[in-house]
């Protein structure tokens, strides 16, 4: 039997769409939702309930529906969608869910993206009030964005039979679409309203196309809207009344049945009992009766039914009776409504307990809500400076009044005319009724959470009074629908149970998102290669072409090592280390942070910034420096070169370049604005190539014919400007390995060419490119710390054995005061030392703890420190490690133990410098 | 021997060209760029032959040069032929300030076409509507996940200046963001 009417509704009956639900092959039409297509076949039962497994159906016609959760299986598995919001497409396969879905195991192939848009007026909701607001704003020349959740404009007009109002809607939409600077977005839900006019909306762009969705078109888009003013015309949701066994499939909101009838041409059943507390349910009953549904009985909970509407019902053969539904009968579908002792057979039970203005976004905007005792609902309680509410969202349900509110919400005198309508006529005020007494265990407040009146009363019985607490205790309002139909009723039952006035109660806070948003949509294009920028140096293509493996350092890709065929990391790194110590090697150091510091106070500034003295450095010379935080802990290190009387170039570690520049600016702008200093990042401007090893001088001489490279003419810790491979270069004689070494700087434009020139010139010497792993080994052999590896924000320069880098003469510098604190003077601070495993083959895992005894004592085991770096060393012919050890320097020569697996590995504590302690290799 | 200049975006030339006609995207590499910090740029304007922008978030152009407002005392000079760091520092004289050659710090990508604003709106939070960002606008902002300096020119043309190390990311992002407009 079909429940599709031969005419009516916005469905294309000439086109048949096939779909499968719960294994059953069915058909529908374009314009259907999955829910309307199912109802057309008389299918009400969607799935079971999450805890109790009770059958559940379709309660509402839109996103407020608490029950019709489905899993879509094709074209891509997606859990937790509502049958009432899934637009039908050919080939759809779905099944009902019992509260929990299943995420896809494979990656989602669809595109998701985001787009920014700016406007003067954002209107949320394209019902009569929203359309009036948008039209008024558009006619005034404003930039307007109108977003609406449905696939077509109209709002409540879509759920009634009112051709003249529908024509008005079409005319308004046509005018909006023909006005420049007006953007109308259907299938778009404003789900988050944030400060300063920032609103997020999700547009479902191709979901409804199913298999026909073009792959290049983003399936969903997050609109990032920035608006000067916002009009919330979000309408109202009908709420049910709670009564025993109110959860059976076939029990439906009266307005939902009216919407299914008029929008989709679908009847909810053959025989419907209506349970009303207000006039709107009469209109649903009349429309259904006129459409052929047998409506034997309308129960009105009010003592006096509205005379006019009751007479219309009588004329249609609907008995109107004062009373309440007290229960239902049926197995998987309601078969009768219980009215006291009487059973009224029916396959549909329509309920209307009144209307809740949709105030979610208003509440998100920090608008306070006021309880309207007449409506039995919270309504916007105040005006906000830039957010207005119009239409049913304010509790106004008269069409002309809604349109007037929409127009006034944008503050224009332009009159928007709407034809008169009797589709929402009312005679008498509604009655606020939360529930009908009966079996509280079977009276469901939140159908999705299987939460009953018993659960609410248990909460109040346990002493809970706050709606927020009761929400968490009962879970009412925490499901996909966030309590759109249940929250107000729960509040009402609580107030009754506690004997308090709802006007004195604070409603639970509405939070984004208004409707569920998938993580894929939020991630947008920030996936795969666009997930995070990959920063590369100008020499990067060479590294790729020569088989480098890469290490991520912050956002940078740095060559890690360059394995030759058949080499593992261990072999490659030993080879690269050997080349640097015995021949010549080079690496790409372009990622180092570089900051140009200029001004007459630059020396003074650097003296304050670094722990050591910089202002005394002579032009042409270089000094290593350490920076500390105000707590005296090391935050960065690097070289400082003096380019001119008032100009310096500071290098930072790769990962800290931006942080150090920010740190400099913070001090200059907040504490020392009187200093004449300017800092400019030149990190990307320079390509930097350390050329390392005893034969580095030969290679440099070959490419820099104008430069006197002799040790006497080009001293350690000095720099020279020269020409390398025909391009201007700055060469610094510094070393991070202890070997003779030069750091060659050319503009990034020249980086690759100069690198290749060095490779060519170094060929006779077996020049070897090396990566970060070899750099780490070489510096560790010399005991040079790496910021962030040997340090962790609790390490002072003194802890690193670098008291020499802390000036005793300077009157002040950042961190100075902290070095006098007793904590920083304790002799048992953790200090940097070397560790040599007694077995020279054993490699200690980095991060290992260090203990003082051969056997582990019972817990708590006293920990002396941890291993910070650990490598096999070609130069030492053994493994070694650096470690932070309590009173480490006093333990040099001692044997300590490192738990590795089940073993305690004995290690000998040494000075941190393990190779070339006398520094003999520095000059080649 | 003079080494060849190389740009990381050279590898993207074909992929960027394939975005036409929806979006014409081409790198304009190897321009002399100077970061100037000074509270009083009047003398510099005379040397360069183009006035410095007095209005925040704008740029000026003329005499083969462009001057971009980056902050209350910060400008980026895209210098004409023959002007370099020394020349501008000389013009600064004894007044406070700094001049730094940042030529290779950033590269430029010129964008043109009917969908320039659409594509940029996928990653740029700044309002680029012609009424809000007329020709002559210059802002520092984020485009997706990279910082850029964005210059609005007349006729649906925009120039993006991006840090060299981020240029590959920017190109990849542009190619992706243009997908729906091809």
The enclosing domain of B151 has a CATH number of 3.30.1360.120
Chain B CB within 8 Å of residue A723 CB: no
Phi-psi region of A292 (alpha: psi -120 to 50; beta: other; left: phi over 0): left
For A604-650, how does the pLDDT look when each residue is reduced to its tens digit (9 = 90+)? 999 999 999 999 999 999 999 999 999 999 999 999 999 999 999 99
CB contact burial A646-677 (16+ within 10 A = b; e otherwise): bbbbbbbbbbbbeebbebbeebbeeeeeebeb
Domains of chain A: 17-106+241-352 (3.50.50.60), 110-238+355-426+514-531 (3.50.50.60), 439-500 (1.10.10), 540-590+686-778 (3.30.1360.120), 593-681 (3.30.70.1400), 826-923 (2.40.30.110)
Distance between CA atoms of B149 and B163, rounded to whole angstroms? 9
For A360-406, how does the pLDDT look when each residue is reduced to its tens digit (9 = 90+)? 999 999 999 999 999 999 999 988 999 999 999 999 999 999 999 99
In a domain, B115, yes or no: yes
Question: Could you give the percent of chain A with pLDDT greater than 70?
Answer: 100
**Residue B3: predicted pLDDT:** 55
For A461-512, how does the pLDDT look when each residue is reduced to its tens digit (9 = 90+)? 999 999 999 999 999 999 999 999 999 999 999 999 999 999 998 888 899 9
**Residue A482: predicted pLDDT:** 94
Tokens in use for B66? 């462009």
Residues B120 and B154 in one domain: yes
**Residue B43: predicted pLDDT:** 86
The enclosing domain of B95 has a CATH number of 3.30.70.1520
Residues B53 and B117 in one domain: no
Determine the average pLDDT of the residues in A42-65.
Answer: 96
Cβ neighbours of B129 in A, within 8 Å: 118, 143, 181
**Residue A509: predicted pLDDT:** 87
Distance between CA atoms of A850 and A169, rounded to whole angstroms? 76
Tell me which residue in B96, B101, B176 faces A525 most closely, judged by beta carbons: B176
For A805-847, how does the pLDDT look when each residue is reduced to its tens digit (9 = 90+)? 999 999 999 999 999 999 999 999 999 999 999 999 999 999 9
Residues B72 and B109 in one domain: no
Residues B22 and B38 in one domain: no
Question: Could you give the percent of chain B with pLDDT greater than 70?
Answer: 98
Phi-psi region of A624 (alpha: psi -120 to 50; beta: other; left: phi over 0): beta
For A158-203, how does the pLDDT look when each residue is reduced to its tens digit (9 = 90+)? 999 999 999 999 999 999 999 999 999 999 999 999 999 999 999 9
Residue A413, pLDDT > 80, answer no
In a domain, B6, yes or no: no
Residues B143 and B110 in one domain: yes
Position A924 confidence tier, pLDDT thresholds 50, 70, 90: confident
Position A865 confidence tier, pLDDT thresholds 50, 70, 90: very high
DSSP A104-121: -SSPP-S-EEEEEEEEEE
Distance between CA atoms of A291 and A412, rounded to whole angstroms? 41
Instruction: Say whether the peptide bond before residue A75 is cis (omega within 30 degrees of 0).
Output: yes
Residue A868 main-chain phi, psi, to 5 deg: -100, -30
Q: What angle do CA A237, A241, A245 make, to 5 degrees?
A: 125
Chain A CB within 8 Å of residue B89 CB: no
In a domain, B36, yes or no: yes
Closest CA to A690 of A810, A559, A533: A559
Question: Could you give the percent of chain B with pLDDT greater than 90?
Answer: 86
Position B94 confidence tier, pLDDT thresholds 50, 70, 90: confident
**Residue B1: predicted pLDDT:** 40
Distance between CA atoms of A708 and A716, rounded to whole angstroms? 13
**Residue B93: predicted pLDDT:** 85
Place of tokens 């009724």: A433
Residues 541 through 570 of chain A touching chain B, CB cutoff 8 Å: 541, 556
Cβ neighbours of B173 in A, within 8 Å: 525, 530
CA torsion sign for A540, A543, A547, A551 is: negative
Residue pairs spanning A and B at CB distance below 8 A: 132
Tell me which residue in B7, B121, B176 faces A116 most closely, judged by beta carbons: B121
* A470 close to A464: Cβ distance less than 8 angstroms: yes
Q: Give the count of beta carbons closer than 10 Å to the beta carbon of residue B33.
A: 22
Interchain contact, B180 vs A600, CB within 8 Å:
no
Q: For chain A, how big is the Rg over CA atoms in Å?
A: 38
In a domain, B5, yes or no: no
Of B103, B138, B155, at which residue does a domain stop? B103
Closest CA to A664 of A683, A685, A678, A684: A678
How many residues would you count in chain B? 182
Chain A CB within 8 Å of residue B35 CB: yes
Non-local (6+) Cβ contacts of A193 within 8 A are A199, A230, A361, A364, A365, A387, A512
Closest CA to A149 of A476, A486, A516, A488: A516
Strand locations in A609-734 (E) = 622-628, 634-644, 647-652, 678-681, 686-692, 719-724, 727-732
Helices then strands (H, E): number in chain A?
20, 47
Distance between CA atoms of A181 and A908, rounded to whole angstroms? 75
Distance between CA atoms of B80 and A12, rounded to whole angstroms? 65
Distance between CA atoms of A43 and A337, rounded to whole angstroms? 19
Tell me which residue in B104, B168, B182 faces A747 most closely, judged by beta carbons: B104
Q: Across all residues in chain A, what is the average pLDDT?
A: 96
Interchain contact, A599 vs B96, CB within 8 Å:
yes
Place of tokens 């080349």: A579
Interchain contact, A540 vs B8, CB within 8 Å:
yes
Residue B143, pLDDT > 80, answer yes
> Cα dihedral angle (A338, A341, A344, A347), rounded to 10 degrees?
30
Tokens in use for A132? 């009036």
Residue A802, pLDDT > 70, answer yes
Distance between CA atoms of A377 and A191, rounded to whole angstroms? 21
Q: Residue B19 belongs to what domain range?
A: 11-30+105-181
Residues B115 and B177 in one domain: yes
Residues B55 and B93 in one domain: yes
Cβ neighbours of B3 in A, within 8 Å: 725-727, 750, 753-754, 757
Instruction: Say whether the peptide bond before residue A513 is cis (omega within 30 degrees of 0).
Output: yes
Of B88, B103, B118, at which residue does a domain stop? B103
Interchain contact, B129 vs A143, CB within 8 Å:
yes
Tokens in use for A717? 């810790």
Determine the average pLDDT of the residues in A80-106.
Answer: 95
Chain B CB within 8 Å of residue A371 CB: no
Q: Across all residues in chain B, what is the average pLDDT?
A: 94
Residues B37 and B47 in one domain: yes
Distance between CA atoms of A587 and A777, rounded to whole angstroms? 14
In a domain, B3, yes or no: no
Q: How many domains are contained in chain B?
A: 2
For A312-335, how does the pLDDT look when each residue is reduced to its tens digit (9 = 90+)? 999 999 999 999 999 999 999 999
Give the H/E segment covering residue A26: strand A24-28
Residues 103 through 142 of chain A touching chain B, CB cutoff 8 Å: 111, 113-118
Chain A CB within 8 Å of residue B2 CB: yes
Burial bucket for residue A911 (CB in 10 Å: 0-12, 13-18, 19+): middle
Distance between CA atoms of B144 and A185, rounded to whole angstroms? 23
Residues B99 and B163 in one domain: no
* A223 close to A185: Cβ distance less than 8 angstroms: yes
Determine the average pLDDT of the residues in A869-890.
Answer: 97
Beta bridge partners of A866: A849, A884
**Residue A283: predicted pLDDT:** 98
Residue B2, pLDDT > 50, answer no
Distance between CA atoms of A232 and A236, rounded to whole angstroms? 11
Cβ neighbours of A116 in B, within 8 Å: 121-125
Residues B25 and B64 in one domain: no
Residues B21 and B39 in one domain: no
Say whether pTM exceeds 0.80: yes
Of B73, B103, B133, at which residue does a domain stop? B103
For A537-596, how does the pLDDT look when each residue is reduced to its tens digit (9 = 90+)? 999 999 999 999 999 999 999 999 999 999 999 999 999 999 999 999 999 999 999 999
Residues B109 and B130 in one domain: yes
Phi-psi region of B87 (alpha: psi -120 to 50; beta: other; left: phi over 0): alpha
């Amino acid at each position: 039997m079909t429940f599709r009417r031969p005419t009516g509704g916005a469905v294309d009956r000439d086109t048949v769409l096939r779909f499968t639900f719960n294994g059953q092959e069915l058909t529908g039409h374009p314009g259907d939702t999955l829910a309307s297509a199912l109802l057309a076949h008389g299918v009400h039962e969607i799935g079971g309930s999450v805890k109790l497994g009770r059958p559940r159906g379709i309660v509402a016609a839109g996103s407020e529906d608490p029950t019709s959760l489905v899993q879509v299986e094709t074209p891509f598995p997606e859990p937790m969608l509502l049958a009432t919001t899934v637009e039908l497409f050919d080939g759809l396969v779905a099944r009902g869910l019992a509260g929990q879905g299943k995420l896809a195991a494979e990656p989602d192939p669809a595109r998701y993206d985001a787009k920014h848009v700016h406007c003067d007026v954002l209107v949320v909701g394209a019902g009569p009030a929203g359309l009036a607001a948008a039209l008024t704003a558009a006619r005034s020349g404003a930039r307007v964005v109108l977003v609406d959740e449905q696939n077509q404009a109209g709002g409540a007009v879509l759920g009634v039979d009112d051709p003249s109002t529908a024509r008005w809607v079409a005319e308004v939409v046509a005018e909006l679409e023909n006005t420049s600077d007006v953007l109308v977005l259907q299938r778009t839900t404003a789900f988050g309203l944030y400060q300063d006019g920032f609103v997020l909306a999700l547009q479902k762009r191709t979901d409804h196309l199913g298999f026909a969705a073009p792959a290049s078109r983003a399936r969903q888009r997050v609109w990032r809207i920035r608006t000067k003013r916002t009009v919330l015309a979000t309408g109202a949701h009908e709420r049910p009344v709670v009564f025993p066994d109110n959860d059976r499939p076939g029990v439906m909101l009266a307005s939902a049945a009216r919407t299914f009838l008029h929008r989709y041409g679908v009847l909810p059943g053959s025989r419907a009992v209506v349970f009303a507390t207000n006039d709107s349910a009469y209109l649903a009953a009349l429309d259904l009766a006129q459409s052929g549904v047998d409506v034997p009985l309308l129960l009105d909970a009010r003592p006096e039914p509205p005379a006019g509407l009751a007479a219309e019902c009588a004329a249609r053969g609907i008995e109107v009776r004062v009373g309440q539904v007290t229960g239902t009968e049926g197995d998987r579908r309601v078969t009768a409504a219980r009215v006291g002792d009487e059973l009224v057979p029916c396959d549909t039970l329509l309920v209307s307990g009144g209307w809740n203005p949709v105030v979610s976004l208003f509440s998100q905007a920090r608008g306070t809500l006021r309880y309207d005792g007449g409506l039995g609902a919270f309504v916007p309680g105040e005006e906000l400076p830039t957010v207005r509410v119009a239409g049913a969202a304010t509790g106004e349900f008269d069409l002309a009044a809604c349109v007037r509110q929409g127009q006034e919400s944008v503050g224009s005198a332009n009159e928007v005319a709407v034809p008169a309508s009797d589709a929402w006529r009312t005679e008498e005020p509604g009655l606020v009724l939360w529930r009908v007494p009966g079996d509280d265990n079977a009276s469901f407040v939140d159908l999705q959470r299987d939460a009953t009146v018993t659960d609410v009363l248990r909460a109040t019985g346990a002493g809970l009074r706050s709606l927020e607490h009761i929400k968490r205790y009962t879970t009412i309002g925490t499901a996909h629908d966030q309590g759109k139909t249940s929250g107000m009723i729960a509040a009402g039952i609580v107030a009754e149970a506690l004997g308090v006035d709802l006007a004195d109660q604070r409603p639970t806070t509405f939070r984004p998102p208004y409707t569920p948003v998938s993580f894929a949509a939020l991630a947008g294009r920030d996936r795969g290669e666009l997930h995070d920028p990959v920063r590369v140096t100008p020499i990067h293509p060479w590294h790729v072409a020569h088989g480098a493996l890469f290490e991520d350092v912050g956002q940078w890709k740095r060559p890690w090592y360059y394995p030759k065929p058949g080499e593992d990391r261990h072999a490659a790194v030993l080879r690269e280390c050997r080349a640097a110590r015995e021949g010549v090697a080079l690496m790409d150091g372009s990622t180092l942070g570089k900051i140009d510091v200029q001004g007459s106070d630059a020396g003074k500034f650097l003296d304050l910034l670094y722990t050591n003295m910089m202002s005394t450095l002579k032009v042409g010379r270089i000094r290593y420096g350490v920076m500390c935080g105000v707590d005296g802990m090391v935050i960065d290190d690097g070289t400082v070169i003096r380019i001119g009387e008032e100009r310096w170039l500071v290098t930072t570690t790769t990962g800290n370049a931006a942080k150090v520049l920010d740190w400099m600016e913070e001090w200059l702008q907040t504490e020392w604005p009187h200093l004449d200093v300017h800092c400019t990042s030149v990190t990307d401007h320079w390509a930097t190539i350390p050329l390392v090893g005893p034969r580095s001088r030969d290679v440099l001489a070959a490419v820099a014919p104008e430069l006197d490279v002799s040790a006497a003419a080009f001293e350690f810790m000095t720099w020279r400007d020269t020409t390398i491979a025909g391009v201007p270069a700055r060469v610094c004689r510094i070393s991070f390995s202890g070997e003779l070494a030069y750091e060659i700087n050319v503009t990034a434009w020249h980086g690759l060419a100069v690198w290749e020139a060095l490779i060519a010139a170094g060929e006779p010497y077996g020049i070897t490119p090396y990566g970060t792993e070899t750099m780490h080994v070489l510096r560790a052999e010399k005991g040079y710390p790496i910021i962030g590896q040997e340090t962790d924000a609790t390490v002072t320069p003194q802890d690193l054995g670098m008291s020499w880098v802390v000036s005793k003469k300077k009157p002040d510098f950042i961190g100075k005061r902290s070095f006098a604190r007793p904590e920083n003077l304790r002799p048992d601070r953790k200090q940097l030392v070397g560790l040599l495993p007694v077995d020279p083959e054993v490699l200690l895992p980095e991060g290992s703890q260090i203990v003082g005894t051969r056997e582990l004592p019972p817990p708590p085991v006293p920990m002396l420190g941890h291993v910070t770096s650990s490598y096999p060393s070609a130069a030492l012919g053994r493994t070694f490690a650096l470690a932070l050890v309590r009173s480490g320097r006093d333990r040099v020569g001692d044997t300590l133990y490192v738990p590795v697996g089940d073993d305690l590995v004995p290690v000998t504590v040494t000075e941190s410098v393990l190779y070339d302690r006398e520094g003999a290799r520095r000059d080649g | 021997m003079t080494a060849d200049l190389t740009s990381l975006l050279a590898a993207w030339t074909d992929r960027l060209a394939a975005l036409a006609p929806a979006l014409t995207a081409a790198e304009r590499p190897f321009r002399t760029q100077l970061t100037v910090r000074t509270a009083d740029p009047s003398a510099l304007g005379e040397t360069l032959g183009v006035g410095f922008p007095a209005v925040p978030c704008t740029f000026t152009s003329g005499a083969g040069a462009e001057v971009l407002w980056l902050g209350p005392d910060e400008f980026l000079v895209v210098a004409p032929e023959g002007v370099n760091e020394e020349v501008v520092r000389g013009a600064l004289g004894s007044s406070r300030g700094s001049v730094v050659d940042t030529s290779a710090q950033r590269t430029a990508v010129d964008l043109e076409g009917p969908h320039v604003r659409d594509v940029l709106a996928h990653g740029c939070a700044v309002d680029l509507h012609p009424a809000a960002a007329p020709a002559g606008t210059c802002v520092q902002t984020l485009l997706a996940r990279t910082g850029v300096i964005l210059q609005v020119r007349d006729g649906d043309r925009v120039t993006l200046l991006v840090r060299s190390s981020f240029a590959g990311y920017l190109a990849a992002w542009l190619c992706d963001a243009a997908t729906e407009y091809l």
